């Protein structure tokens, strides 16, 4: 019986996760892409298509898919106060499904970024191996 044990997420969620620096490309784009000094006297921003990309990355997509995703998540969610055992089982099920979904979404996003930034992926890998 698993009824007595609290779901592990309750214990972990209280801590603040800390990361030292911008690791992933998506993070870098989010943190730096359209920020920083623009010296507009004799300097120019010489990027092509960068505005489009930032818009693409930043917009919260509240689409039909999003609504159906949350409807599904809600429908699979058991409310508190009902059988703990069922709660646990359903919680696991929802956890598994939503993390699969999230992975899919994140991968989709990264693919999209890669397709814009993909031109010299290999070049950078080589650089990283060199250093």
Q: Which is it for the CA torsion 99, 101, 107, 109, positive or negative?
A: negative
Shortest distance in whole angstroms from residue 5 CB to another protein = 15
2 binds another protein (CB under 8 A): no
Question: Cα–chain-centroid distance for residue 10?
Answer: 21
Which residue, 4 or 131, has its beta carbon nearer to another protein?
131
Q: Is 80 helix (H, G, I), strand (E, B) or coil?
A: coil
Q: Which residues in 37-96 contact another protein (CB under 8 A)?
A: 37-50, 53, 57-62, 64, 66-75, 77, 79-80, 91, 94-95
Nearest 5 degrees, angle CA 96-CA 102-CA 106?
A: 145
Which residue, 4 or 79, has its beta carbon nearer to another protein?
79
Which residue, 4 or 59, has its beta carbon nearer to another protein?
59
Site size for another protein (CB under 8 A): 74
CA distance 63 to 75: 18
The residue within the footprint of another protein, chosen from 34, 88, 110, 112 (CB under 8 A), is 34
DSSP 1: -
28 binds another protein (CB under 8 A): yes
Q: Which residues in 103-122 contact another protein (CB under 8 A)?
A: 105, 114, 116-121
Nearest 5 degrees, angle CA 13-CA 19-CA 23?
A: 125
């Amino acid at each position: 019986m698993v009824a007595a044990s609290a779901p592990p997420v309750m214990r972990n969620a209280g801590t603040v996760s800390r990361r030292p620096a911008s690791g992933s490309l998506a993070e870098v784009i989010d943190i730096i892409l359209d920020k920083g000094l623009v010296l507009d006297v004799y300097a120019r921003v010489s990027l092509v298509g960068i505005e489009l990309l930032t818009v693409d990355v930043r917009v919260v997509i509240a689409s039909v898919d999003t609504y159906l995703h949350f409807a599904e998540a809600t429908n699979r969610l058991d409310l508190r106060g009902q059988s703990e055992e069922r709660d646990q089982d359903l919680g696991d099920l929802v956890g598994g499904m939503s993390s699969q979904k999230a992975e899919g979404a994140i991968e989709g996003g990264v693919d999209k970024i890669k397709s814009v930034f993909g031109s010299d992926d290999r070049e950078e890998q080589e650089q990283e191996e060199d250093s």
